[in-house]
Amino acid sequence: MAQRNDEQDEQLAQALLALSRVMVALAARNLSELDADVTLPQYRALIILTSNGPTRSVDLAQELNVAPSTLTRMCDRLERKGLIRRFQRDGNRRTIWLGLTEEGRDVVGRVMRARRDEIDTVLATAGLHASRRTLQLLHRFVRAAGELPDEEWWQRWQVSADDGDQIGPERKTTGASRRH
């Protein structure tokens, strides 16, 4: 029986890998179709800023697994596009904080809504319907991966372009506390 579980676990991992390819393709297609002028790595940075709120640049570099210099160049581009802003807190000029602008938040929202529409189409085409057990398993998987459930994520999205100095401590996270 242990072999059957190992076999089933392997099949589950393979199915999730295939699903991840589908989700990345949907994200890339939505970015392209919406003419967002944002690369997938840049979009991932916007998603992290949406989920975490204003974030220190060093923490964002760590979460994206990129060198600080790479993040600086990425942020230069995002700032020129008006999607993020850099700022300082508490008079500390050495620490750079990053936050979404309203335009950045709107780009993320448009892409997420387009992706949701496409997911709904795929579900309808496949004739798939949710069961309570499936939903529980997916929510557990999302949490275990360090992501937010969709409802909570959209709540964060609504306030993601707020003034960084007004964000409460519950929104201040570090790279060590969340994985994206």
Q: Is the pLDDT of residue 166 over 90?
A: no
The pLDDT of residue 175 is 39
The pLDDT of residue 91 is 84
CATH number 3.40.190.10 given to 19-163? no
Distance between CA 130 and CA 138 in Å, rounded?
A: 10
The answer to whether the CB of 172 falls within 8 A of the CB of 53 is yes
Distance between CA 135 and CA 139 in Å, rounded?
A: 6
Q: Is the pLDDT of residue 60 over 80?
A: yes
**Residue-wise pLDDT tens digits, 102-137:** 999 999 999 999 999 999 999 999 999 999 999 999
The pLDDT of residue 161 is 87
Distance between CA 81 and CA 174 in Å, rounded?
A: 25
**Residue-wise pLDDT tens digits, 147-159:** 999 999 999 999 9
Q: Is the pLDDT of residue 170 over 80?
A: no
The answer to whether the CB of 51 falls within 8 A of the CB of 170 is no
Q: Is the pLDDT of residue 165 over 80?
A: no
The pLDDT of residue 2 is 52
The pLDDT of residue 3 is 61
DSSP state string for the chain? -HHHHHHHHHHHHHHHHHHHHHHHHHHHHHHHHTT----HHHHHHHHHHHHH-SEEHHHHHHHHT--HHHHHHHHHHHHHTTSEEEE-STT-SS--EEEE-HHHHHHHHHHHHHHHHHHHHHHHHHT----HHHHHHHHHHHHHTTPPPHHHHHHHHHHTTS-GGG--GGG---TTT---
The domain ranges of the chain are 19-163
pLDDT averaged over every residue in the chain: 87
Cα of first residue to Cα of last residue in the chain, in angstroms, is: 35
Is the pTM of the predicted complex or chain greater than 0.85? Answer: no
Amino acid at the residue 58? V
Could you tell me the sign of the dihedral formed by the alpha carbons of 66, 68, 70, 76, in that order? Answer: positive
